Amino acid sequence: MQTDWIWGLVGGGLIGMGGAVFLLGNGRIMGASGILGGLIDGTGRSNLWERVAFLAGVVVMPLLLWPLYNVKIDTHLTDKWEVIVVAGLLVGVGTRIANGCTSGHGVCGISRFSLRGIVATVFYILAGGLTLALFRHVWGLI
């Protein structure tokens, strides 16, 4: 759709404001993989409820906005189970080893000109583009 980029900009602004609240309010970097991962490996036990509250907001807000949208929202997630499982594992392992994902390294890192954030973003975009090109256009598997 032609208006997609406007919604992208608006939504991006909201994401950035979320990051600003988390930073200026709690003094923390808003990274989805870190907030979630800390609950999984036990490193986030000291601020457990802060993490749970953040994730609750992430889950609930789309449901509150849902009635305002009169179009059907489709995530178009692949129905190939093996792809979903492999992709999930790679995203989980990778973001924790790299210590950040699109929100932490991408949004929060780039906005303070962090070299690590910029390098991570370049590598995950290149890896994503190459993987998609191979699996979709060369091998036709996804």
Partner 1 sequence: MQRILLSLLAGSLFGGGLFVSGMTDTTKVQGWLDVFGDWDPTLAFVMGGAIIPMFIAWRFTEGRKPLVGGDFPKPPAPELDHRLITGSVLFGMGWGLAGLCPGPAVASITYNGMGGLVFMAAMLGGMALAPLVGTRLDRLSAAV
Give the footprint of partner 1 on residues 82-141 (CB under 8 A): 83-99, 101-103, 105-112, 114-117, 119-121, 123-133, 135-137
90-127: buried (b, 16+ CB within 10 Å) or exposed (e) per residue?
eeeebbbebebbbbbbbbbbeeeebeebeebbeebeee
Length of the chain (residues): 142
**Tokens 């991006």 sit on residue:** 12
Q: How far is the CB of 105 from partner 1 (least distance, A)?
A: 7
| Binding flag, residue 8, partner 1 (CB under 8 A) | yes
Report if residue 40 touches partner 1, rule: CB under 8 A. yes
Using rule CB under 8 A, residue 44 touches partner 1? no
The answer to the question of residue 71 lying near partner 1 (CB under 8 A) is no
- Please select the residue that binds partner 1; options are 14, 45, 46, 140, rule is CB under 8 A: 14
Q: Tokens 């907001």 identify what position? A: 57
